[in-house]
Structure 1
């Protein structure tokens, strides 16, 4: 998936409502590319966390995107308090349709007693969709924020920050990245401040 130029990223974050309004035009290719950039991984992650296989997840994800392309032009976005909740609902409905369709096929082919198809379908975590969506949204914001701060600091600073949030001591980090303990403390503190500020900004822009 091609990345947006970094100069466009903050602008797109801060104009989420404008972006949603723009994708109501199904043929605004740039708007849809931006939409895909910010939401497709979130949608795909929800599907995978519901214990959907990779191949089936790819198929469901494509159907969700097609459904969104068809539905959003008629959507009253002003009535949706959290657009991400709408995305989760569309995803859940598509997974339900997948389960119904696959179950009918299994029953039609009389495979229920010959393989684990039914067990697979029953293992899908459909009732947990709201919890899954909430957890994946936090992961999504974290990844977007980390991607942003990586453009603001040196490779060693980012590496030190990642090691620190894993619970690695300052002393060990200093040895790994080739910096003094004092430098590690200073850099990780700066990256942490920028990272959490970015997360909070994203919450405001994208919620």
Structure 2
């Protein structure tokens, strides 16, 4: 089954930013007894990991195995994790963990459908680009979830039809509204998403090391 491509919002230009997972959550997950922190961490990143693994060609069950393995390894490694903004970004660390687990899964396979580890390494640039695309899609999904809670269903429906490529004129006719109203919905949703994404990235850049 084909995996849904990363979503794209016309007019939402992704600005390159230093993206770092907020230190407060990383501090909390160092305590393996903090079930609430681990639940938040899993909810935040599970779809990102699974979707990336699926786009690497894994079946759903295998992608879930990768997610579980990543979480288990992180549970061990994050005990001694100390956030240092000068030592790179957590998203890069997570990417390496996920890529390693995908490679390990392929390495355990036998048969003609197995993908050699050296072949995976040869395509490192491509899979890194794939991770970046999924990371951006991850933030857009989080922001869209907030939009669904903040806007009326009709506004969300209008925005989704715009994303699907329908013209404002066709949408206005189908919803018995004006073209101007459709444009206003688009402007408001775009602005909302930009703000929410900026907030999410700001949280991830919070590297003050507080616990």
2:181 matched residue in structure 1: 183
Q: Indicate yes or no: 2:30 matched with 1:32.
A: no
Misfit runs of 4+, over 3 Å: 122-126
Deviations 1:67-102 (A, max 9, x none): 111111112322543111111111111122222222
Distance 1:60 1:37 in 2: 15
1:193 matched residue in structure 2: 191
Deviations 1:125-174 (A, max 9, x none): 56333111101001101111111111221111111111112321111111
Larger Rg: 1
Q: Looking at both structures, which has the greater relative contact order when contacts are Cα pairs under 8 Å and sequence separation is at least 6? A: 2
Gaps of 5+ in 2: 1-20, 206-211
Tell me if structure 2 keeps the 8 A contact 1:159–1:177: no
TM-score normalised by the chain length of structure 1:
0.78
Distance 1:96 1:163 in 2: 39
Query: Residues 129-144 of structure 1: matches in 2 within 5 Å?
Result: 129-144=127-142
Gaps of 5+ in 1: 1-14, 107-116
1:10 matched residue in structure 2: none
Q: Indicate yes or no: 2:61 matched with 1:55.
A: yes
Q: Indicate yes or no: 2:86 matched with 1:66.
A: no
1:96 matched residue in structure 2: 103
Tell me if structure 1 keeps the 8 A contact 2:107–2:114: no
Distance 1:190 1:137 in 2: 24
- Please give the secondary structure, in 2, of the residue aligned with 1:63: helix
- Cα RMSD, aligned residues only: 2.1
Distance 1:120 1:101 in 2: 8
Whose helix proportion is higher, 1 or 2?
1
Per the alignment, do residues 170 and 72 of structure 1 end up closer, same or farther by CA in structure 2, a change over 3 Å counting? same
Distance 2:149 2:164 in 1: 21
Distance 2:114 2:177 in 1: 50
